[in-house]
A and B are shown apart, each in its own frame.
Chain A
Amino acid sequence: MNMKNTSYRRVLAGAAAVLFAAALPAFAQVDAGKSTVVATSKQMNVPVDGTFKKFNAQLTFDPAKPTAGSANLSIDTDSYDLGDPEYNKQVRGKEWFDSATFPKATFVSSAIAPAGGNQYKVTGKLTIKGKSQTVTVPVSITQQGATQTFDGSLPIKRTQYDIGSGEWKDTSVVADDVVIKFHIVAAKH
């Protein structure tokens, strides 16, 4: 049943992608090679960076009409790379991302507000491990030719998303505060 559901979704997603591509020529194409999403945790007060190797972003942003813009991010939780295969395997497990049950972490914007200069406040719903929170991210957006760059960082509390359950709830070892830093480069076509 699950498989059927998945393939059905794939067909739908494919159809949607074709429709979007046709309907929205201004849709920004994310340059995966130049874009990064890094989540930094603190273990015994040591900052530890992990990079999400796989994610998709759908961004529409026009500086002339910033409030009409939108951002959709979908991150593959099993692509979190801490630089050690053993740690990567563990972080995909039930206590952390539980990637088998929750393969994607998503951000869906609901409002974009200008905050002076090239600064914007993007409000939206962040969902990790099935837990959703409304967050507001300060983002700086720069445009060079057809390339748009979105930079920002979002501090979150990992326990709000049940990241690190069981004995890992102890925030004196792994701090509750985690910073998600992103640098997304997109080209308009």
Chain B
Amino acid sequence: MTSHASSQSASKPVRYSRTAIALHWLIALLMICGFYLGWIMTDIPGFTPTKLKYVSWHKWIGVTVFALAVLRVLWRATHQAPPMPVAMPTWQKAAAHATHALLYVLMLAIPISGYFFSSAAGVQVVYLGVLPLPTFIGPDQALKAILRTTHIALNYTLLVLFAMHVLAALKHQFVERDGLLARMIPFLK
């Protein structure tokens, strides 16, 4: 990656690596689709062919998000993230780090809770309708109800964090105008 840093800390990148940027946007897109599908499919009463399709797509998206999120966490752990603007107050940096950490946790926890919810409901996940994935727990009505609630609660938490994440990014771009977004959107700078 090219670095425009003129100081001695030339190793500090000004933006996320291409891989991190690709993973960020890909996962974001998939999570939005997965969330939307989850939202509308649960509004369909009983079961219909459309609902079955939506539920399957929702699960495939979840599995994909999980796999990509694992990659992303590993990538993040082994690659330095660009620094936040110097002018940014410490509490804001801390809040940003906490939000990012929680988003990483949810990227993994939401698919896991959904996956186990499906298993507890006695429905195996067959990735893309081709690859049967292992089931770690058998059908369990009580656990199914708990996992369902957990899956939903985690998603509402995600919705709140997502809103914070987007609003903070917009504030940096349009209020502070500190160029923070260029770390994740290369063509902005």
Contact = CB atoms under 8 A, between A and B. Distances in A.
B123 interface: yes
Contact of B52 (A44, A49, A82, A84): A44
A90 interface: yes
Contacts of A174: 49, 52
Given A83-B121, A84-B121, A173-B52, A46 B126 contact: yes
Interface in B100-149: 121-126, 129-130, 139, 141
A87 B56 CA distance: 17
Contact of A83 (B124, B125, B139): B139
A90 B53 CA distance: 17
Contact of A170 (B49, B56, B139, B141): B49
A143 interface: no
Given A87-B47, A173-B52, A174-B52, A44 B121 contact: no
Contact of B124 (A47, A84, A87): A47
Which of B48, B55, B123 counts the most A-chain CB atoms under 10 A from its CB?
B123
A43 interface: yes
Contacts of A83: 121-122, 139, 141
Contacts of B126: 44-46
B46 interface: yes
B49 A173 contact: yes
A90 B124 contact: no
A65 B49 CA distance: 48
Interface residues of A, number: 18
Given A83-B121, A90-B46, A90-B47, A45 B130 contact: yes
B122 A49 contact: yes
Contact of A173 (B53, B121, B125, B139): B53
B156 to A, nearest CB: 23
A24 B42 CA distance: 55
A86 B49 contact: no
Interface residues on B, range: 10 to 19
B49 A168 contact: yes
B52 A43 contact: yes
Which of B49, B124, B125 counts the most A-chain CB atoms under 10 A from its CB?
B49
Interface in A40-80: 43-49
Which of A45, A48, A49, A87 counts the most B-chain CB atoms under 10 A from its CB?
A45
Contacts of A168: 49
Interface in B47-61: 47-49, 52-53, 55-56
B143 to A, nearest CB: 12
A137 B93 CA distance: 69
Contacts of B121: 83-84
A168 B47 CA distance: 10
Interface in B21-71: 46-49, 52-53, 55-56
Nearest to A42: B126
6 contacts: A44-B53, A44-B55, A45-B130, A46-B129, A48-B122, A173-B49
Shortest Cβ-Cβ A-B pairs, 8 listed: A45-B129, A44-B56, A173-B49, A83-B122, A46-B126, A45-B126, A90-B46, A173-B52
Given A48-B122, A48-B123, A83-B139, 8 more contacts: A43-B56, A44-B56, A45-B129, A83-B121, A84-B121, A86-B47, A87-B46, A90-B47
